[in-house]
Amino acid sequence: MTPLNHDDFQERSVWRNRHFLCLWGATAISQLGTQITFLGLPILAVTTLNATPLETSVLAMLGWVPMVVLGFVAGAIVDRSKRQPLLIWCDIARALILITIPVVYMSGWLSIWYLYVVVLLSGVFTTFFDTAYQAWVPTLVPPKQLVAANSGLEVAQSGTRIVGPSLAGALITLLTAPIAIILDALSYLISALFLFGIRHQEARSDITASKPQQPRSLGMEIKEGLTYFWRQPLLRSILGCTMLMSVGWALVEGILLFYIIRTLGLDAGLTGLIFSAGNVGLLIAATLTGRFVRHWGLGPTLSVALILHAVGILLMALAPLAPLPLIIAGYLVRALGVVAYNISQLTIRQSITPPSMLGRVTATARVIAWASIPSGLLIGGLLATSIGLQPTVWAGAMLSFLALLPLAFGGVWRVRSLPPLSTGELES
């Protein structure tokens, strides 16, 4: 096992990288604006359109559909394209889609069906955007800065989750939901300007360079991405962990509010405190994960993060013993683990995947992992109905601990340092 040298990770130098700073600014401002729509659309549906609980559930579910349905296609198209113009056009498209909401609202034609269309269309372009920017990061920063870059992007996302909901709520109260959504559209245009400011010379990923005379279909390229993914033992192991983690948390997530209010007897104000504490945990983990990787290595950090995730859910299951402190501790510990896990696994995936394959490999990981979440939510609801809320939380904790098995058998916990990309393997 090779120890990490201090020079292997340059935590601060990434903030001197102008290209990365532009990408960071673009993602931060668009994610902050997204908080407005995340809160504004359900409020608009309930208060203005008198939507039923089923209709609002469908509205939330449709946000998952584009990634699951189009993820593989998005990955192949990302690998065919220059990432910068693709990202810019995705931002512009999302801005144009959202700006129609206040226009349609003022015309009197707004309906729940129109909101469904908006969620689906914006989800399509978000699918392409998220796949493309994750695939672009390794070409904007050197390998030694990947951990710092991914940590920085997580800091932006975590920060917006902390300040975003309260800011969005204030703007919606002040301006009304349809007008506040204009600000989200504006955030996408500002994001596009940040991306336009990147002057990195980007060559189109030429995935058919070896046989330029033989045009290939999207299906062939998707199959190539799936094959590459499946032949990488580390990627397979991490995917197994992610799926078990996702399902384990999904069992709990769908019933968490019922558990907090009915089983633990906590009121709405304390519930807000619990979620705020978890969001602070996201920011702490995003800030400190790079240091953990520098001292321990990627594999050990990922393993500890997975344990924290499972322990967090375990503390939630034990919460009836001391409701408020244990549920806050559980939510906070789980948040720490999830962010550290995401940074570590993303860095490993980016490090062992050639740039020309990153779109498809990223899409494969996201589609398969995300496709398991709706089933977990459904199973959690069924379990809670049949065996009760607390036993369902225990089931989520146990399933999360089982996610350690793919790590152990796949050898991910031994991974210490980033590999040369040409080897396709991590040094352990």
Question: How far is C-alpha 317 from the geometric centre of its chain's CA atoms?
Answer: 25
Identify the CA nearest to 182 among candidates 103, 99, 123, 254: 99
In this predicted structure, the answer to whether residue 375 has a pLDDT above a threshold of 70 is yes
Q: What local confidence, expressed as pLDDT, does residue 211 receive?
A: 42
Contact (CB, 8 A) for 335 and 312 = yes
What six digits make up the tokens of 50?
A: 């008198």
Q: What local confidence, expressed as pLDDT, does residue 269 receive?
A: 65
Per the prediction, the chain carries an average pLDDT of 82
Alpha carbon distance 15, 153 (integer Å):
11
In this predicted structure, the answer to whether residue 61 has a pLDDT above a threshold of 80 is no
CATH 1.20.1250.20 in the chain is located at 1-199, 218-422
pLDDT band at 172 (very low <50, low <70, confident <90, very high): confident
Alpha carbon distance 113, 100 (integer Å):
14
pLDDT band at 315 (very low <50, low <70, confident <90, very high): very high
* Structural fold of domain 1-199: Growth Hormone; Chain: A; (1.20.1250)
Question: How far is C-alpha 13 from the geometric centre of its chain's CA atoms?
Answer: 25
What six digits make up the tokens of 166?
A: 């309260």
pLDDT band at 426 (very low <50, low <70, confident <90, very high): very low
Averaged pLDDT, 75-94: 92
Alpha carbon distance 90, 423 (integer Å):
34
Q: What local confidence, expressed as pLDDT, does residue 207 receive?
A: 42
In this predicted structure, the answer to whether residue 62 has a pLDDT above a threshold of 60 is yes
Decide which of 1.10.510.10, 3.40.50.720, 1.20.1250.20, 3.40.50.2000 is the CATH code for 218-422.
1.20.1250.20
Residue-by-residue DSSP string for 276-344: HHHHHHHHHHHHHHHHHHHHH-HHHHHHHHHHHHHHHHHHHHTGGGSHHHHHHHHHHHHHHHHHHHHHH
Whether the model clears a pTM of 0.95, i.e. scores above it, the answer is: no
Q: What local confidence, expressed as pLDDT, does residue 97 receive?
A: 95
pLDDT band at 57 (very low <50, low <70, confident <90, very high): low
Identify the CA nearest to 10 among candidates 150, 145, 142: 145
Identify the CA nearest to 346 among candidates 332, 360, 373, 366: 366
Q: What local confidence, expressed as pLDDT, does residue 103 receive?
A: 93
Neighbour count for residue 103 (Cβ, 10 Å): 12
Q: Which residues of 314-330 are buried (b: 16+ CB within 10 A; e: fewer)?
A: bbbbbbbeeeeebbbbb
pLDDT digits (tens, 9 = 90+) for 109-135: 999 999 999 999 999 999 999 899 888
Averaged pLDDT, 254-271: 80
Neighbour count for residue 272 (Cβ, 10 Å): 12
Share of the chain above pLDDT 70, in %: 89
pLDDT digits (tens, 9 = 90+) for 211-245: 444 567 778 888 888 888 888 888 889 999 999 99
Contact (CB, 8 A) for 85 and 196 = no
Share of the chain above pLDDT 90, in %: 28
Averaged pLDDT, 328-339: 91
Averaged pLDDT, 195-224: 67
Q: What local confidence, expressed as pLDDT, does residue 310 receive?
A: 96
Q: What local confidence, expressed as pLDDT, does residue 11 receive?
A: 46
Place of tokens 């204009």: 182
Highest mean pLDDT pick, 94-98, 199-203, 345-349: 94-98
**pLDDT: which is higher, 273 or 1:** 273
Alpha carbon distance 3, 9 (integer Å):
12
Averaged pLDDT, 365-394: 84
